[in-house]
Chains A and B, each alone.
Chain A
């Protein structure tokens, strides 16, 4: 009776032992690398349009700010904001009283100078006659030399006085002209056909002239028939923008409509490049990216108003039937250049022993994070070639991926152009975002999964 029980115990314990040993051996020798869930797509061909997106405002192409040249009170303002005006139409009348008085004063001074000239002329005539008469007497030795010199001097003085009077007449005439000019400038007329887009001053207001001051901006007249979008483009994108390129514009006030435009001008200097050297436009926390203004003429007509917000998609480049991958597929990894020979050192844990060694993200100088495999390879490399970040795409090879450096061209909202590194139809990893940007390395094991909100995030 005891023997069957003993035999049963032996069998049961043997089975348990065998199972445990088998599982232990499997656990020890079968390494389970992390399986990263990814989504895949095939490299395909698409037509791409490289677009630079910029925001700005709509402004008239032709716009004039009306400021008075003379100061005074506005006594007549026959226009109002939004009114259409024509070239030469009266806009503003400034009180001319003081300028009329100045003109009269100048006129009086001018006439006085004319009278003084006439007097000087008469004196010269008399002095000349006296000189001629006494010269004859001096020649016949009937006049002393001193007396002759006195008559000569008197004639010279009269001549000088006449010259002075002539100059004074010129000065007076110039002052009169100036006074008349200023009087004329109290009446301001429109220099162009347009619309009064902004009226800053009111009847009775005192305005400053521009002669010695900045001048009061009384109004702005705009030609609303020709409008343009003035957008700000970053310095990285502005190099690709040239006059003549087409653009599609979206105006906030006219949603669901796109307007056509053409680039007419690209600024040569940035918006803050006019600041004096050493001047900071703000503290370090408020520094903005360098922007260049681009002007886009609106081809389509609409009831645009100056100052409307606009977003422009400027088409800077175009490719037909280019080899493309989804935007999310391209990421950056540090790779050692292909011409670096693997080191002779042994016992290092290489990430991948191929011509292309892909290290984990390290700093550009490489070899300082203590990682033995990477450091060993880099330190032994010829010419001190350091791992540098490069664009890579992960190609699916069965149950793992291979990081392949690629050269990228232009892109649109969905795809990157691939100019080197991939062939049409290759299966590549297109998601998730975290897997591509951080987790995946050359040789990582993967499993294909369903896209989620995070995995589809660009």
Chain B
């Protein structure tokens, strides 16, 4: 009788990678977002993935507002902007000169206050809404790419991607402090001398922002990881949606100015 050949034993499987801590996930999203989002895909729902970035983004925004609006150069710039706005209203005949002079000191004082209030009040709204807004976009992207992604997972991915926005807030704050220009950002606007927020071309330059492209890329990687599609297709969806609604808002802004300012 011939001996029965023994079947080769399967190679020993590598043990599964241990789950990264929350801090690890928040940091690794900068360097290895694909790994982070793979873990998110395989793990259960973890609300900390979107909650903590939102909290950090809120805190960063408040600290940034406090630092920026305490600078004399920034306060000077804000009052000059308020003056310029009043002068344009007078030149167009919308308000009489005497009324403008009465309102000028109030407008100058209110310019900084209103900007600070907007920054303080707006930051938490943006921080807590964007994970759900972009979660919805990524979820719709999953549908488009023939995937089936739970909505909360896309929220987690969008929330983790917001860590790039935290970094963006820090970088933007430092740039404002260095340049003394409240419109400074890591974009082509840095190359513009005498940035004018009412100039369409200057506004377009501000949209070409390194950090915005980075966060869109991270969201694209997240969509690809969750939906099992290629990064290229996911990026097409993410960038396409961003261009569409940014372009729409930009166009609406131009139309508004054309109708009401001229």
Could you tell me which A residues sit within 8 Å of B by CB distance? 5, 8-9, 12-13, 16, 19-20, 23-24, 26-27, 30, 32-37, 434, 439, 452-455
| Residue of chain A at shortest CB distance from B76 | A34
Please give the number of chain B residues whose Cβ is less than 8 angstroms from any Cβ of chain A in the complex. 32
The answer to whether B156 has its CB under 8 Å from any CB of chain A is no
Bound-complex Cα distance A24 to B171 (A): 9
Which label, helix, strand, loop or mixed, suits the secondary structure of the A interface?
Answer: helix
Check B73–A32 contact: CB distance below 8 A.
yes
Please give 17 more A-B residue pairs, beta carbons under 8 A apart, in addition to A439-B76, A455-B87.
Answer: A9-B31, A9-B32, A12-B31, A19-B171, A20-B174, A23-B174, A26-B178, A32-B179, A33-B72, A33-B73, A33-B180, A35-B180, A36-B76, A452-B83, A453-B90, A453-B91, A454-B87
Q: Does B84 contact A (CB under 8 A)?
A: yes
The 6 closest A-B pairs by CB, nearest first: A32-B180, A34-B76, A23-B174, A27-B177, A9-B31, A452-B87
* Residue from the list B71, B80, B97, B180 in contact with A453, Cβ < 8 A: B97
B178 with A27: CB separation less than 8 A: yes
* Pairs A–B under 8 Å by Cβ, sample size 7: A5-B32, A5-B35, A23-B174, A32-B179, A34-B75, A453-B87, A453-B91
Give the complex CA separation of A447 and B233 in angstroms. 48
Q: Specify which chain B residues have a CB less than 8 angstroms from the CB of A5 in the assembled complex.
A: 32, 35
Q: Taking the complex as formed, is B149 at the interface, i.e. its CB lies under 8 A from any CB of chain A?
A: no
In chain B, positions 53-87 with a C-beta closer than 8 Å to chain A are 71-73, 75-77, 80, 83-84, 86-87
Q: Identify the closest chain B residue to A449 (Cβ).
A: B194
Residues of A within 8 Å of B87, CB to CB, are 452-455
A233 to B175, CA, bound (A): 58
| CA A35 to CA B80, docked complex, whole Å | 10
CB-CB under 8 A from A434, the residues of chain B are 83
Residues of B within 8 A of A454 (CB): 83, 86-87, 100, 104
Distance to closest chain B CB from A13 (angstroms):
6
Residue B28 lies at the interface, judged by CB distance under 8 Å to chain A: yes
What's the Cα separation between A239 and B129 when bound, in Å?
A: 73
Write out the residue numbers on chain B whose beta carbons fall within 8 Å of the beta carbon of A16: 30, 167
Contact between B73 and A23 (Cβ–Cβ < 8 Å)? Answer: no
| Chain B, interface SS category | helix
Q: Given A32-B180, A453-B90, check contact A27 B84 (CB 8 Å).
A: no
A37, B72: Cα distance in complex, Å: 14
List chain A residues, Cβ under 8 A from B171: 19-20, 23
A12 to B30, CA, bound (A): 8
Q: Once the chains bind, are A13 and B180 in contact (CB under 8 Å)?
A: no
B116 within 8 Å of A (CB atoms)? no
User: B27 to chain A: which residues have CB within 8 Å?
Assistant: 13
Q: Which of A8, A452, A455 lies at the interface centre, i.e. has the most chain B CB atoms within 10 A of its CB?
A: A452
Chain B residues with CB under 8 A of A32: 71, 73, 177-180
Considering the chains assembled together, what is the distance between the CA atoms of A34 and B90 in angstroms? 26
Is B170 in contact with chain A by the CB < 8 A criterion? yes
How many Å from the CB of B192 to the closest CB on chain A?
15
* Residue from B72, B97, B100, B178 in contact with A34 in the complex, judged by beta carbons closer than 8 Å: B72
Q: How far apart are the CA atoms of A19 and B27 in the complex, in Å?
A: 16
- Give the CA-CA distance A434 to B178 in the complex, in Å: 26
| Residue from A12, A26, A33, A453 having most chain B Cβ neighbours under 10 A | A453
A19 vs B88: C-alpha distance when bound (angstroms)? 39
Q: Is A9 in contact with B28, judged by CB distance below 8 angstroms?
A: yes
| Chain A residues, CB < 8 A from B32 | 5, 8-9
**Chain A, Cβ-Cβ closest to B84:** A452
- A13 vs B24: C-alpha distance in the bound complex, in angstroms? 13
Whole-angstrom distance between the Cβ of B82 and the nearest chain A Cβ: 10
Most buried by A among B71, B72, B87: B87
Q: For residue A14, give the distance in angstroms from its CB to the closest CB of chain B.
A: 10
A12 to B32, CA, bound (A): 9
- CB of A35 within 8 A of CB of B86, answer no
Residues of chain A within 8 A (CB-CB) of B86 are: 454
Chain A residues near B175 (CB, 8 Å)? 23
Question: What B residues does A19 contact at CB under 8 A?
Answer: 171
A34, B73: Cβ atoms under 8 Å? yes
**Distance A439 CA – B91 CA, assembled complex (angstroms):** 23
Select which of A8, A30, A33, A35 is within 8 A of B31 by beta carbon.
A8
Instruction: Give the complex CA separation of A159 and B175 in angstroms.
Output: 127
Measured in the bound complex, the distance between the Cα atoms of B70 and A32 in whole Å is 12
CA distance A23 to B186 in the complex (A): 12
Minimum CB–CB distance from A116 to chain B (whole Å) comes to: 86
**Max count, chain A CB within 10 A of own CB: residue among B30, B80, B83, B86:** B80
Q: Are B174 and A13 in contact (CB under 8 A)?
A: no
Closest to A13 in B: B31
Closest-by-CB residue of B relative to A5 is: B32
Residues 154 to 174 of chain B near chain A (Cβ within 8 Å): 167, 170-171, 174
Q: Identify which of A12, A30, A34 gathers the most chain B CB atoms within 10 Å of its CB.
A: A34
A37 to B194, CA, bound (A): 11
Docked CA distance A12–B171 (Å): 15
* Inter-subunit contact B83/A30 (CB<8 Å): no
